[in-house]
Chain A
Amino acid sequence: MPDGAYNYAYLDEQTKRMIRRAILKAVAVPGYQVPFGGREMPLPYGWGTGGIQVTAAIIGHDDTLKVIDQGADDTTNAVSIRRFFARVANVATTTRTSEASIIQTRHRVPETPLSEGQILVFQVPIPEPLRMLEPRETETRTLHALAEYGVMQVSLYESVTRHGRIAKTYNYPVLVNGRYMMSPSPIPKFDNPKLDRNPALQLYGAGREKRIYAVPPYTSVKSLDFDDHPFEIETWSECCALCGSSESFLDEMIVDDSGKRLFVCSDTDYCEARRK
C-alpha cells in the first residue's frame, strides 16, 4: 500500500483528536490515568504503541523527533520507531537531545537537561503503579479516587523488613503534585529525580492498557520512601570507559569469556557529546 494512502502520522484526524483530548485531560490532572480508545498500530503491543499514538497525535511538520530505547538511538526498537515516523510524518529526526522538540523514550530519561518547549513521551507497559499489589482494575480505580495508597507504603515497609532497604530499582512509584500515585514507566530509579519540576512536558502512553497520563512542566514528582530510609539513586564505583563520566547511568558490558566487564554511558548522545 503506497504511503500516500495513509493520513499524516498514520492516524486519522478523528483518532488524533480523541488522543489529544485525552492528553489535555491528563495534563489538567497530573498523574491521573485517562482511558483512551487506543488503536491497533503497525507495531505490536509492548513495542511502544502508546508512545507512538501520543507522538502521532502531537507531531507536526515543524517538529524534530528523537527516539531512544535504553538511552540509545540505535537499538532496534528506537530505529524501528524513528523509521516509522520518518515514513508517515515526513519529519526531521535527530540523535541530539538538545535539538529535539519531541523525544520518545523507552526506559530512560536523557542525561542532558531538558528545556521549556520540549516534550518527553514515555512508553509505558503497565500504567497502574498498584497493579502488582492489586490485580483488579475495579479496585485500583477506587484506591486512586480515594487517595488510599497505604498498600504501596506497606510494600515498601515489607521491603525494608526483608532486605534492610527499599529494594525497588525501576518503575519506582512517585507521588505527582502531592495527589496521584504514578508509575514513571520502567525507568531506573536513577532517573526519578529528573522528573521533579522538569521544565519539559512529560506525556506517558500505554497502548495495550489504553491509558494516557501526564506531568505538566514544573510539577512536583516525589519518590516514595521512609524518613529514615530516604530515596537513593544507583551509583557505580566505575566511570564510563569512553567519556569518563561518573554522573550518568552506566551500561555494564561483558567483554570476554572470563567475565571481564566494561561500563559505558547508557545515553549514547550524552556520551558522544562529552567526547567531542
Chain B
Amino acid sequence: MSGPLLSARGLTKRFGSRVACRDVSFDLWPGEVLGVVGESGSGKTTLLNCLAGRWQPDEGSVSYETAAMGTVDVHGLSEARRRLLARTEWGFVNQDAREGLRMSVSAGANIGERLMAIGARHYGDIRRTSGEWLDRVEIEADRLDDTPRTYSGGMRQRLQIARNLVSNPRLVFMDEPTGGLDVSVQARILDLLRSLVDRFHLSAVLVTHDLGVARLLTHRLMVMQGGVVVEEGLTDQVLDDPQHAYSQMLVASILPV
C-alpha cells in the first residue's frame, strides 16, 4: 500500500444557512487512529458521517483505498457499492449501541449477519465464529443466544463492536463509543478497543468530546470548533502543549481525577 487509507479534501457540509463543517482536509494512514475532538456543535459528528458516506458533503471529496480495487471516491460510488463497503471493509460504532444492533435477534445472529450477507451458509461455522468474537469482546459464551435487549449498556457496546469487526474491516468509524456508559464500564471498553486496534491493525477515525478517551486511543488529533479544524498534531503534543486558545481551554477544563 503506497498512499493514505482515507483522504478528505475540502469537506464542507451545510444545514440550511448554518455551516456544520468547513473545508476539512486530512490523510489517514494505515494503522493510525485519528481522533476528532470538540464540544457538541463543533461539527465532528457531521464530519464523521460525511467521511463514512452516510451524508453527502456540499463541497469537497473523500477518497478511500480499497483492499482490491484501487482508490475510490466515496461519494461517487453507487449506493450498492457504498453499502457493500460499509458491510465489509468498514465498521461504524454508534454512540447508542441500539442503533447499530438488531435488538430482537440473538447476539450470535447479530455478529453472524455480516458473514451471512457475504454468503456464509454453514450454521455451525457462523455460530462458532460468532462465539469466538463474543469471547474476544469479553462477553460470556452462554449469552450467545440471548438478544441484546437482555444485555447491559456496556455489553451492548461490546456486541456492536464484535458485529463490526467480524468482517475484518480495515477502517472503523467510531462516534463517542463510550458515551453514556458508567465510568468503570467505559474504562474496560477503552481497554478492549485499544487491544483490538493493536491486535487487528485497525485504522480508525474516532469522534469524542472526552480528551481522556482521545489520549488513550488516538495517535493523532484534530481539534474542531464551530465546524473548523483549529489545531491538529500528534495526540500527546496537542494535549500536553496546546497552541490554539480553544484547545487550551479544552485541555484546561479536564477535571483532575
> Complex formed: what's the CA distance from A186 to B113 in Å?
26
Q: Which of B79, B83, B116 contacts A157 (CB 8 A)?
A: B116
Q: Confirm or deny: B106 has a beta carbon within 8 angstroms of a beta carbon on chain A.
A: yes
Residues from chain A with Cβ under 8 Å of B113 in the complex:
150-151, 153-154
A226-B122, A226-B123 known; A161-B79 Cβ under 8 A: no
Q: Which B residues are within 8 Å of any A CB, using their own CB?
A: 79-80, 83, 102, 105-106, 108-109, 112-114, 116-117, 121-124, 126-127, 145
Docked-complex contact A227 and B122, CB < 8 angstroms: yes
Tell me the complex Cα distance, A160–B106, Å.
Answer: 11
Also in contact, A157 and B117, with CB within 8 A (given A146-B79, A146-B83, A148-B83): no
B121 x A161 contact (CB < 8 A)? no
A194 at the A/B interface (Cβ < 8 Å)? no
- What are some 18 contacts across the A-B interface (CB < 8 A)? A145-B80, A146-B80, A146-B83, A148-B117, A150-B113, A150-B114, A153-B113, A153-B116, A154-B112, A154-B113, A157-B105, A158-B109, A161-B108, A162-B145, A225-B121, A226-B122, A226-B123, A228-B123
The reply to whether B83 and A160 form a contact with Cβ atoms under 8 Å apart is: no
Contacts of A150 in B (CB 8 A): 113-114, 116-117
With a CB–CB cut-off of 8 A, which chain B residues contact A158?
Answer: 105-106, 109
Cα–Cα, bound, A123→B121 (Å): 31
User: Is A229 close to B, CB under 8 A?
Assistant: yes
Q: Are A154 and B105 in contact (CB under 8 A)?
A: yes
Q: List residues of chain A with CB within 8 A of the CB of B79.
A: 142, 146
Give A153 to B145 CA distance when docked, in angstroms.
16
State the 6 A-B residue pairs at the shortest beta-carbon distance, nearest first. A150-B117, A153-B116, A226-B123, A227-B122, A146-B80, A157-B109
User: Cβ of B116 and Cβ of A161 under 8 Å apart?
Assistant: no
Is there an interface contact between A157 and B123, defined as CB atoms closer than 8 Å? yes
Closest to B83 in A: A146
Question: Do A157 and B80 touch (CB < 8 A)?
Answer: no
B108 — which chain A residues lie within 8 A by C-beta? 157, 161
Bound state CA distance, A146 and B145, in angstroms? Answer: 29
Q: Which of A146, A154, A162, A226 contacts B121 (CB 8 A)?
A: A226
How far does the Cβ of B121 sit from chain A's closest Cβ, in whole Å? 5
Q: How far is the CA of A161 from the CA of B117 in the complex (A)?
A: 18
Q: Which of chain A's residues 147-186 have a Cβ closer than 8 Å to chain B? A: 148-151, 153-155, 157-158, 160-162
Q: Evaluate contact between A227 and B121: CB separation under 8 angstroms.
A: yes
